[in-house]
Amino acid sequence: MSTASDAGPAGAGGAAAGAVIELSHVSKTFESRSVSPVRALDDVSFRVAAGEVAGISGPAGAGKSTLLAIAAGHLRPSSGSVRIDGSEPRRFVEREGIAYLPQPVALPGGWRVSDALTRLAVLSGVRPTYTKHRVEAAMRELGLYDDRRRRVRSLKGDARLRLGLAQAIVADRRVIMLDEPLEGMSAGSLDRLRELIVRLRAFDRAILIASRDTAELQRVTDRVTLIERGRTRRPGAPRRATPADVEGVFHITLHQGGEHVLAVFPNAISLGRSTYAVRVTGFAALNRGLRDLLERGALLASVTPAHAAVDANSLTLNEVGM
């Protein structure tokens, strides 16, 4: 059996709750009359817990998009079971909806950016009084506000991807699935995406991101599961930093007390939206700093490892041929 469910603790999200997204022994074979059947997924088990940001990485054709499509209920598995919050995926999606970034981002080319987002907000069930606000907020967050009157067909690459992300976040969802959000993204957009993921992280939210870019995925997720030829491979180490790490960068998001950050972490860099990148030497230093912050009256919303353990994991990933 190929499983990622037991690939270590849930991660820095500290998912104490049960699995929100759960694939159990899922296989998918695409049948065709003209070519021999293609086994896209082979006995894959995978879980994402509440509060967790999980990544799935692998080369093109490894089965990442198939896995996401099955998890989103767009494809039915040939065997195995899929549950979102305990329900069959389609049932969950039709009841609550999910934030989903497909690959590619396909929308009618004649729609204008703001019109497309408004339509999708309406379909998401965003109330009429909030629709305009939500659409504008999504456009501003993804840097699309100046493009709001442009036709979708005129958006290429990076801008199209940001539109895909904007439509995904135009409504609040407990389950978020992003398929290749890093593909072709500019450096500026990558920063936006990192900030977005930090903002989206919540105790009751499960986020699953698929990408070929293992290193970047490791930066933004709690753990990365490798997939190759339809089978998940046990990652060399969970994304969680270990005491052996001599140095690491963490993203700290505060609810209040941002003015104390520099006093505690002199090398902190503001990432916006009350989120700061801090470089610390080991867990002891991190926890000392956090305790100091709390004592000064700060309220902590989340702590996410940003760079920690990347090297250790990359080494392991190289060992398994990634």
Q: What phi, psi does 34 have (nearest 5°)?
A: -90, -30
Which CB atom, from 207 or from 322, has the smaller least distance to other proteins? 207
Asked if 99 is part of the footprint of other proteins (rule: CB under 8 A), the reply reads: yes
Instruction: Give 93 or 278: the residue with its C-beta nearer to other proteins.
Output: 93
- Verify binding: residue 21, other proteins, rule CB under 8 A: no
Span near other proteins by CB under 8 A; candidates 114-122, 223-231, 235-243, 254-262 = 114-122
Residue 100 binding other proteins, by CB under 8 A: yes
- Are 303 and 12 in contact by the 8 Å Cβ rule? The answer is yes
Is 144 an interacting residue with respect to other proteins (CB under 8 A)? no
Q: Residue 122 Cβ, how far from other proteins at the closest point, in Å?
A: 5
> Which of 15, 26, 44, 93 contacts other proteins by CB under 8 A?
93
Return the number of other C-beta atoms located less than 10 Å from residue 269's C-beta. Answer: 14
Of 68-76, 197-205, 206-214, 282-290, the window that binds other proteins (rule: CB under 8 A) is 68-76
Nearest partner of 135 among 106, 111, 108, 110, judged by Cα = 111
What DSSP character marks residue 151? B
Cross-strand pairs, 208: 54, 177
In order of 255, 257, 258, 261, the CA distances from 290 in angstroms are: 13, 12, 12, 9
Instruction: Show the beta-strand stretches assigned E in 165-283.
Output: 175-179, 206-211, 223-228, 231-233, 248-256, 269-272, 275-280
Residue 96 makes contact with other proteins by CB under 8 A: yes
* Stretch of 4-12, 46-54, 95-103, 180-188 contacting other proteins, by CB under 8 A: 95-103
Q: Is 125 in the site for other proteins (CB under 8 A)?
A: yes
Q: Which is nearer to other proteins, 20 or 69 (CB)?
A: 69
Pairing, β 38-49 against β 299-305 = unpaired
23 contacts: CB under 8 Å, gap ≥ 6: 44, 45, 46, 47, 67, 70, 71, 77, 80, 81, 82
| Residue choice 37, 94, 153, 318 for contact with other proteins (CB under 8 A) | 94
Contact 118, 131 (CB under 8 A): yes
Site string for other proteins, 152-191 (x = CB under 8 A): ---------------x---x-----x--------------
- As measured in angstroms, the least distance from the Cβ of 149 to other proteins is 17
Applying CB under 8 A, which of residues 1, 16, 18, 30 lies at the interface with other proteins?
30
How many chain residues are in contact with other proteins, going by CB under 8 A?
Answer: 32
294 belongs to the binding site for other proteins (CB under 8 A) = no
Q: Quote the longest CA-to-CA distance of the chain.
A: 68
Taking the C-alpha atoms of residue 32 and residue 47, their distance in angstroms, rounded to an integer, is 30
Which residues form the interface with other proteins (CB under 8 A)?
A: 30, 69, 72, 74-75, 90, 93-100, 102, 104-108, 110, 119-120, 122-126, 128, 167, 171, 177
